[in-house]
C-alpha cells in the first residue's frame, strides 16, 4: 500500500507557498496595469480630442468656403449681370439703360460684400480695360495685367464654368495699396446663357485674414499646427505665408495626406515622431493637423518613469525569490522531463528514479508503469495492424478473382456454343492448371517468380479466348525473382496490356516484363507493343492515385494501387506512360516499409 503524502511534503503546498510570496509584491502588478491603462486612456482621449478639433476646424472653414461658392453661383446665374458684361454696344445705343445696368452690377457686388463677413472683395472682369468690383476696386491695377494670360484665368477657361480654388494670396486689384489685402480667391468664367460663350471672369476673394485667424485658433499640443492642402498635396492655406503654394516637403506626411482615407496617422519628421489628423473640406481640400507625439503624452512621462523603475526593482526581487524556490521545487520535474524526452525520441527502456514522498514521487511511479503498458500496447497494435493489412489484401484479391473467372468462363461458354470442343478442353485444362497453381499458395504473398509462372498459365487461356499468340519475354535478376509481393500484383497490368493494347490492334502481340533489384528497391516494368493510349486518356493526364480516387480505373489497376499502398513504404508507386501506336509501359517501384524489412 502506498504511503500517505504528508501535507508539508506536498508539491501543491510548495507551489502555493511560492505563489503567496510572489503575491506579497502587489505593486508589481498594480504598477504594470496602471501604466497600460493610463497610457491607453490618455492617448485615446487626446486623439479623440484632436479628431474633434479637426472636425470643428473643417466645419468652420467649410462654412466660409461654402459662402464663397454660393456668392460665385449667385453672380454666375444673374442674367442682368450677363447683359452688362456682354452688351458692348448698349452704351452707345442706349446710354441710360447701360448706366442703370452697370449701377445694378456695382450695387450687387457691394451689397454682397457688406452683408457677408467672409467675402472681402468681388470682381467681375471682362478684359484688361473692362471690369467691375466692390469697394476699392482699381481699374488702374487691372490694366497692369494681361487678363487671359494669368494662370487662374487659363484654369477657369479649362474648367468651363466650374470653380477654381486658389491658395492664399494678396489682392491684385484692390486700390487700398499694394499687397495689403490677404485673400483666398475663387475664380470661374462668366458665360452668356444664350450663346454659352465665355464673356468674362468672376473672382470672389474670401477674407484671408479671417481664415488665418481660424487656423491659428486651433491648437494641437504646444507646437502643433493646422494647414490646408489640395488633392495634390500642395499647401493652399497656412499661417506661414512662405509655405503657401508649395508641395508638402515631407514625403511620408504627403503620402498619408493624399494616399489614403485614414483620419489619423503617424509619421516622422527627421527623427521626431509626429501624430496627425485630417478632415475633408466642402471644396475637396483637406485640413491637416500635426503635432509631435511626445506632446500628446508628456504629462505621463514622469509617472511612466517612476512606474518603470518600480516595475524593474520589484521584478528583480521577484526573480531572485522565484529562482531560489524554483530550483528546489523543479529539480525533480526536470529529471522527469528529461526521461519523458527520451521516451518521445523512441527509447522505451528508460525508467525514472525520483525518490520523493510528494506528488512527484507518485508521478515517477506512474510514469514507469505507463512505459510498461505502452510497450505492451505497441506490440498489440503491430499485431493488429498486420492482421488488418492481411485482411484488406484478401478483400481486394477476392474482388479481382470473380472478375477474372467471369472473363474466363465467358470465353469457355462461347467456345462450347460454337462447337470448338478442342479449344474448350484446352481452355478448361489451362484454367485447372491456373487454379491449381493459385490454390497451392496458402499465403497472401508470393515471389515475383511465382507470380510470373501463374501469368504464363493465364496467357494460355487468353490465347484461346482471342485466337491470338501472346509472347511473354521476361528479364529477371536473382534478387528480384525472390522478392515477395502481394498475389496478382503484376497480372492486372499484363491483362490490361492484352485487353486494351494488343487485342484492339488485331494482331499477335508481345509483352516484355523486366524486374530488377537495386539498393533494397525493386523495379518492375511491363511493356507491350499494342496501340498505346490516345491523348486525353485520364491515365496519361493524372497519376494512378488520382485516377483511382476519381473512379477512372478498372478493378485491376485499383487492386495494384491498393496493394502498393498497404504493404510498401513511402515513395512506392505505380505509373503508366504511353504513346499512340508505340505501346504502353507500366512501372512499379517498391520500397519496403521499415517494419517489414526482415519479413
pLDDT in tens, 234-287: 998 988 888 888 999 899 888 988 888 888 888 998 888 998 899 999 888 999
Q: How confident is the model at residue 458 (pLDDT cuts 50, 70, 90)?
A: confident
In the listed set 260, 293, 326, which residue is the last one of a domain according to the structure? 293
What pTM does this model have? 0.47
Whether 270 is in a domain gets the answer: yes
**Domain with 277 in it: what CATH number?**
3.30.450.20
Greater confidence (181 vs 346) lies with 181
Q: How confident is the model at residue 143 (pLDDT cuts 50, 70, 90)?
A: confident
Q: With 60 as the cut, is the pLDDT of residue 2 above it?
A: no
The predicted model gives 82-99 an average pLDDT of 70
What percentage of the chain exceeds 90 in pLDDT? 10
Looking at the structure, tell me whether residues 284 and 417 fall in a common domain: no
- How many secondary structure helices (H) and strands (E) does the chain include? 18, 18
Q: With 90 as the cut, is the pLDDT of residue 512 above it?
A: yes
Looking at the structure, tell me whether residues 285 and 391 fall in a common domain: no
**What angle separates helix 359-417 from helix 293-344, to the nearest 10 degrees?**
70
Whether 141 is in a domain gets the answer: yes
The predicted model gives 129-157 an average pLDDT of 86
Looking at the structure, tell me whether residues 271 and 404 fall in a common domain: no
Q: With 50 as the cut, is the pLDDT of residue 599 above it?
A: no
Greater confidence (175 vs 78) lies with 78
In the listed set 259, 274, 293, which residue is the last one of a domain according to the structure? 293
Distances in whole angstroms, Cα of residue 254 to Cα of each of 247, 260, 339, 544? 8, 10, 61, 59
pLDDT of residue 439: 59
Looking at the structure, tell me whether residues 85 and 229 fall in a common domain: yes
CA–CA separation, 566 and 388 (whole Å): 10
Question: Which grid cell is 534?
Answer: 490516345
Looking at the structure, tell me whether residues 267 and 165 fall in a common domain: yes
Q: With 70 as the cut, is the pLDDT of residue 426 above it?
A: yes
Q: CB of 517 within 8 A of CB of 479?
A: yes
Distances in whole angstroms, Cα of residue 527 to Cα of each of 113, 289, 340, 460, 566? 101, 80, 53, 19, 25
CA–CA separation, 286 and 254 (whole Å): 12
Whether 223 is in a domain gets the answer: yes
Which of 563, 567, 556, 474 lies closest to 515, judged by CA?
474
Looking at the structure, tell me whether residues 591 and 470 fall in a common domain: yes
Q: With 60 as the cut, is the pLDDT of residue 16 above it?
A: no
Comparing 195-199, 354-358, 366-370, 379-383, the range with the smallest average pLDDT is 354-358
CA-based torsion, 173, 176, 178, 183: positive or negative = negative
Whether 578 is in a domain gets the answer: yes
357-361, 374-378, 433-437, range with greatest mean pLDDT: 374-378
Whether 547 is in a domain gets the answer: yes
CA–CA separation, 488 and 525 (whole Å): 15
Rg of the chain over CA atoms, in angstroms?
A: 49
CA–CA separation, 308 and 304 (whole Å): 6
CA–CA separation, 192 and 88 (whole Å): 13
CA–CA separation, 134 and 132 (whole Å): 7
Q: With 60 as the cut, is the pLDDT of residue 201 above it?
A: yes
Looking at the structure, tell me whether residues 415 and 559 fall in a common domain: yes
Distances in whole angstroms, Cα of residue 270 to Cα of each of 266, 274, 289, 293, 351? 13, 10, 18, 13, 64
What percentage of the chain exceeds 70 in pLDDT? 77
Could you tell me how far CA 266 lies from the centroid of its own chain? 25
Distances in whole angstroms, Cα of residue 355 to Cα of each of 3, 7, 77, 332, 362? 13, 17, 101, 9, 9
pLDDT of residue 23: 56
Residues whose CB is less than 8 angstroms from the CB of residue 267 and which lie 6 or more positions away in sequence, other chains included: 250, 252, 253, 256, 273, 274, 276
Q: CB of 597 within 8 A of CB of 549?
A: no
Read off the pLDDT of residues 348-357 as tens digits, 9 standing for 90 and up: 677 777 666 7
Looking at the structure, tell me whether residues 278 and 392 fall in a common domain: no
What are the φ and ψ backbone dihedral angles of 234, each rounded to 5 degrees? Answer: -90, 135
CA-based torsion, 67, 72, 77, 82: positive or negative = positive
Secondary structure of residue 228 in the 3-state scheme: strand
Question: Which grid cell is 595?
Answer: 517494419
The predicted model gives 325-332 an average pLDDT of 66
Q: With 50 as the cut, is the pLDDT of residue 213 above it?
A: yes
CA-based torsion, 417, 419, 421, 424: positive or negative = negative
Read off the pLDDT of residues 467-496 as tens digits, 9 standing for 90 and up: 888 899 999 998 888 998 888 889 888 988
The predicted model gives 163-187 an average pLDDT of 84
Q: How confident is the model at residue 147 (pLDDT cuts 50, 70, 90)?
A: confident
In the chain, the number of structural domains is 2
Comparing 8-22, 425-439, 489-503, the range with the smallest average pLDDT is 8-22
Parent domain of 467: 381-596
pLDDT of residue 515: 93
pLDDT of residue 190: 92
The pLDDT mean for the chain works out to 79
CA-based torsion, 239, 243, 244, 246: positive or negative = negative
Looking at the structure, tell me whether residues 280 and 391 fall in a common domain: no
CA–CA separation, 181 and 189 (whole Å): 23
CA–CA separation, 573 and 545 (whole Å): 9
Reported as type and span, the H/E element at residue 472 is strand 470-476
Secondary structure of residue 542 in the 3-state scheme: coil
DSSP state of 490: S
Whether 317 is in a domain gets the answer: no
CA–CA separation, 365 and 348 (whole Å): 15
- Beta pairing, strands 470-476 & 509-518: parallel
**Domain with 441 in it: what CATH number?**
3.30.565.10
In the listed set 260, 277, 293, which residue is the last one of a domain according to the structure? 293
Whether 334 is in a domain gets the answer: no
CA–CA separation, 327 and 536 (whole Å): 70
pLDDT of residue 516: 93
Which of 563, 319, 542, 348 lies closest to 451, judged by CA?
563
Whether 7 is in a domain gets the answer: no
pLDDT of residue 569: 81
Amino acid at each position: 500500500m502506498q504511503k500517505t503524502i504528508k501535507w508539508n511534503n506536498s508539491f501543491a503546498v510548495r507551489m502555493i507557498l511560492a505563489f503567496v510570496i510572489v503575491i506579497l509584491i502587489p505593486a508589481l502588478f498594480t504598477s504594470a496595469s496602471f501604466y497600460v491603462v493610463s497610457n491607453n486612456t490618455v492617448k485615446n482621449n487626446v486623439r479623440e480630442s484632436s479628431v474633434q478639433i479637426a472636425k470643428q476646424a473643417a466645419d468652420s472653414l467649410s462654412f466660409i468656403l461654402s459662402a464663397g461658392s454660393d456668392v460665385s453661383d449667385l453672380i454666375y446665374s444673374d442674367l442682368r449681370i450677363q447683359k452688362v458684361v456682354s452688351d458692348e454696344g448698349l452704351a452707345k445705343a442706349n446710354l441710360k439703360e447701360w448706366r442703370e445696368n452697370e449701377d445694378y452690377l456695382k450695387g450687387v457686388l457691394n451689397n454682397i460684400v457688406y452683408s457677408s463677413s467672409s467675402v472681402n472683395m468681388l470682381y467681375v472682369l471682362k478684359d484688361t480695360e473692362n471690369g467691375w468690383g466692390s469697394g476699392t476696386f482699381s481699374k488702374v491695377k487691372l490694366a497692369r495685367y494681361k487678363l487671359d494670360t494669368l494662370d487662374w484665368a487659363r484654369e477657369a477657361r479649362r474648367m468651363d464654368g466650374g470653380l477654381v480654388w486658389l491658395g492664399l494670396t494678396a489682392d491684385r486689384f484692390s486700390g487700398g495699396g499694394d499687397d495689403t489685402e490677404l485673400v483666398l480667391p475663387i475664380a470661374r468664367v462668366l458665360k452668356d446663357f444664350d450663346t454659352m460663350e465665355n464673356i468674362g471672369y468672376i473672382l470672389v476673394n474670401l477674407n484671408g485674414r479671417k481664415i488665418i485667424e481660424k487656423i491659428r485658433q486651433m491648437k494641437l499640443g504646444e507646437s502643433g499646427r493646422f494647414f490646408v492642402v489640395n488633392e495634390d498635396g500642395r499647401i493652399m492655406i497656412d499661417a506661414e505665408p512662405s509655405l503657401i503654394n508649395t508641395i508638402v516637403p515631407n514625403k511620408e506626411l504627403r503620402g498619408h495626406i493624399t494616399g489614403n482615407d485614414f483620419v489619423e496617422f503617424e509619421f516622422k519628421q527627421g527623427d521626431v515622431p509626429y501624430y496627425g489628423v485630417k478632415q475633408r473640406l466642402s471644396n475637396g481640400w483637406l485640413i491637416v493637423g500635426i503635432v509631435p507625439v511626445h506632446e500628446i503624452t508628456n504629462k505621463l512621462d514622469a509617472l511612466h518613469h517612476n512606474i518603470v523603475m518600480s516595475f524593474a526593482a520589484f521584478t528583480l526581487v521577484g526573480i531572485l525569490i522565484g529562482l531560489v524556490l524554483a530550483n528546489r521545487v523543479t529539480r525533480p520535474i526536470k529529471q522527469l522531463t528529461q526521461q519523458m524526452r527520451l521516451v518521445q525520441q523512441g527509447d522505451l527502456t528508460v525508467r525514472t528514479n525520483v525518490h520523493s514522498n510528494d506528488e512527484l514521487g507518485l508521478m515517477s511511479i506512474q510514469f514507469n508503469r505507463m512505459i510498461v503498458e505502452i510497450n505492451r500496447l505497441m506490440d498489440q497494435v503491430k499485431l493488429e495492424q498486420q492482421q488488418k493489412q492481411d485482411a484488406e489484401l484478401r478483400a481486394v484479391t477476392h474482388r479481382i478473382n470473380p472478375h477474372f473467372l467471369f472473363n474466363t468462363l465467358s470465353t469457355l461458354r462461347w467456345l462450347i456454343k460454337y462447337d470448338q470442343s478442342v479449344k474448350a478442353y484446352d481452355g478448361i485444362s489451362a484454367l485447372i492448371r491456373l487454379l491449381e497453381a493459385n490454390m497451392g499458395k496458402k499465403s497472401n504473398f508470393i515471389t515475383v517468380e511465382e507470380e510470373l509462372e501463374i501469368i504464363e498459365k493465364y496467357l494460355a487461356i487468353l490465347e484461346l479466348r482471342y485466337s491470338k499468340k501472346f509472347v511473354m519475354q521476361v528479364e529477371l535478376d536473382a534478387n528480384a525473382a525472390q522478392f515477395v509481393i502481394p498475389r496478382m500484383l503484376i497480372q492486372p497490368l499484363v491483362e490490361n496490356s492484352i485487353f486494351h493494347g494488343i487485342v484492339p490492334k488485331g494482331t499477335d502481340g508481345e509483352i516484355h516484363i523486366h524486374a530488377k533489384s537495386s539498393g533494397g528497391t525493386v523495379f518492375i516494368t511491363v511493356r507491350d507493343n499494342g496501340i498505346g493510349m490516345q491523348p486525353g486518356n485520364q491515365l496519361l493526364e493524372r497519376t494512378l492515385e488520382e485516377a483511382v480516387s476519381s473512379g477512372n480505373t478498372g478493378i485491376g489497376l485499383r487492386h495494384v494501387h491498393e496493394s502498393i499502398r498497404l504493404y510498401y513504404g513511402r515513395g512506392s508507386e505505380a505509373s503508366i506512360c504511353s504513346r499512340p501506336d508505340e505501346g504502353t509501359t507500366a512501372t512499379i517501384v517498391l520500397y519496403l516499409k521499415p517494419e517489414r524489412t526482415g519479413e
